[in-house]
Amino acid sequence: MKKILRIISLTFLILITSFISFSKGTNALIVVQQSDAKTLDPSASNDAYSHNVNLNIYDRLFDYNTEMKIVPTLAESYKQLDPLTLQVVLKKGVKFHNGDELTSEDVKFSLERASKAPASLSFFGNVEKIEIIDPYTVNIITKAPYGPLLNSLAHSTGSIINKKYTESGTDTFFKPIGTGPFIFESWKAGDRVVLTTNKNYFNGPSSVEGLIFRVIPESTNRTIALETREVDIVLTVSPVDADAVEANDHLKLYRRPSAALNYLGLNCEKGPTSDIRVRQAIVSALDMKDVNIAFGRLAIAAYSVIPPDVLGYKENPPVLRDVEKAKKLLAEAGYSNGLKLKFWTNDNQARKDSAVIMQAQLKEVGIDVEIEILEFGAYLERLNRGEHDLFILGTLGSTDPDGALYTIFHTSNLGSGGNRSFYKNPKVDELLDKGRASTDVAERVAVYEEAADIIRDEVGIIPLVYPPVSVGAQDYIDGFYPYPTFTFLFKDVKKNIK
């Protein structure tokens, strides 16, 4: 049956791709994502699909290199003048895609705008002001000492946009202008974003003729598109298809541990899950060994809200399944006859499979969950409004614990800011504020360990797995680097087709 379905999917995909054309035969790089970008406004973006497009249209003052070290991009040099002031000198002669030169005015406009936008508030809310020293020098002044500032400046939401162009109209982010290695050409919602190569890029042009982000939601169809050589790179290869890609002599599979976390979110603000006893019952009802099977053999079981290799990570013992304890907690919360919850996820095969496993386990303790699969954009919008009971989501990955925790647990980020569990704890807020204000490593470790312990005890979320990065590519692709943050730069990727 599976073989028949695969043949049907293959036939369907060939018919579709022959009709819509993938620019086959050109030197454009065709990259497949599971979902479409939600916005091309970098300060309004808080999903990986948008970040991946934006990272290649815009530049930032800093970026991560392939050793995950922060390096200057638009910055020529920088220095910390005092605990609150970072001075950045810009590279001269950098041009936006419309020919305008990048100046301090653009940096001031971009970062002050990011400091007020809900989606980027967790990265730039600590920015007090940007002071222009001269056309190529700015002082970034924070409200308090801010240890993760360089990390934030390297984040997609810190992309530098053209002030004059952005202020010129209301639809500028439907035709965005950046300084990056690729120039926006068109966006067909739900299908593709087409970029052309910036031949005048200050850091040297890409060797490919353009970059096309295609959307193929279904995991098997993404893999078939690779196998039929209709696309060059697939950014999300499901655990089911990973072995097939790896066994194909014409394909490459990039797999590595990530700095991200997939988690079960619970609405801590309203509904049955606002009761800590219900959240603790859900933890006790789940057997994580079974749940984690859905994420593939390279996924690492998660027992901390901080991923491994991130400052403050502590290896906690696993929570063992205890059905009787779960039932007792539910009875104490007033649900001795059980309760019904809605369980949301998006069209991600591993998440859907894990939701089905959790559904069966929860049913055994009297929790009847209805699984609903939502389109990713609608999914985020409804989560932001707090309409949910349970959901599965992931963090984008961060090399700093501030990025791992502040966005999804600080009270200032409720809803669209990233705290979609609507978790609130003044002590955790205090610790997270203290952690980002400190530059002392030992102090930060202690702060983040304490915050993670409180979140674990209160079941702010339920960690599921640290997912691996799993990217499929054609064998002629060179120069691709699988960043552990699930966001990717494509300027140095080459198509060496023989």
HEC assignment per residue over 238-279: CHHHHHHHHHCCCEEEEEEECCCCEEEEECCCCCHHHCHHHH
- Domains of the chain (ranges; CATH) run 2-34+181-258+469-495 (3.40.190.10), 62-166 (3.90.76.10), 262-466 (3.10.105.10)
CA pair distance 411, 395, nearest whole angstrom:
17
Structure tokens at 311: 């400052």
Question: For residues 183 and 53, what is the distance between their CA atoms, to the nearest angstrom?
Answer: 11
Cα distance between residue 157 and residue 153, in whole Å: 8
CA distances from 320 to 271, 291, 316, 454 (A): 26, 13, 12, 19
| DSSP H or E run through 85 | strand 85-90
d(CA 119, CA 406): 12
d(CA 267, CA 261): 18
Quick check: helix, strand or coil at residue 296? Answer: coil
| Torsion angles phi and psi, residue 253, rounded to 5 | -120, 120
Strands 339-346 and 210-215, how do they pair?
unpaired
Per-residue pLDDT at 26: 67
Q: Which residue in 266, 264, 220 sits closest to 245, CA to CA?
A: 220
**Residues forming a β-bridge with 374:** 346
Return the pLDDT at 299.
Answer: 85
The Cα–Cα gap between 226 and 58 comes to: 28
Name the DSSP class of 88: E
Instruction: Read off the pTM.
Output: 0.80
Residue 129 DSSP symbol:
E
Q: How many Å is the Cα radius of gyration of the chain?
A: 23
Q: Which residues contact 212 (CB under 8 A, 6 or more apart)?
A: 22, 23, 28, 29, 30, 31, 192, 193, 194, 195
Query: CA angle 455-404-456, nearest 5°?
Result: 15
Mean pLDDT by runs of 10 across the 498 residues of the chain is 47 41 66 95 92 98 92 97 97 98 98 93 92 98 92 95 93 94 97 98 97 95 96 92 93 90 96 97 93 83 88 87 96 96 91 95 97 92 94 83 90 92 97 90 93 96 92 97 92 92
Angle, CA 277 vertex, CA 272 and CA 280 arms, to 5°: 105
Do the Cβ atoms of 2 and 10 come closer than 8 Å? Answer: no
Tell me how far apart the alpha carbons of residues 251 and 254 are, in angstroms, rounded to a whole number.
10
What is the Cα–Cα distance from 306 to 308, expressed in whole angstroms? 7
Amino acid, res. 32: V
The tokens describing 411, both together, are 């009270």
- Cα 371 to chain centroid distance, Å, stands at 23
Strands (E), 161-229: 182-188, 192-197, 210-215
Query: CB-based burial of residue 465 (10 Å sphere; 0-12 exposed, 13-18 middle, 19+ buried)?
Result: buried
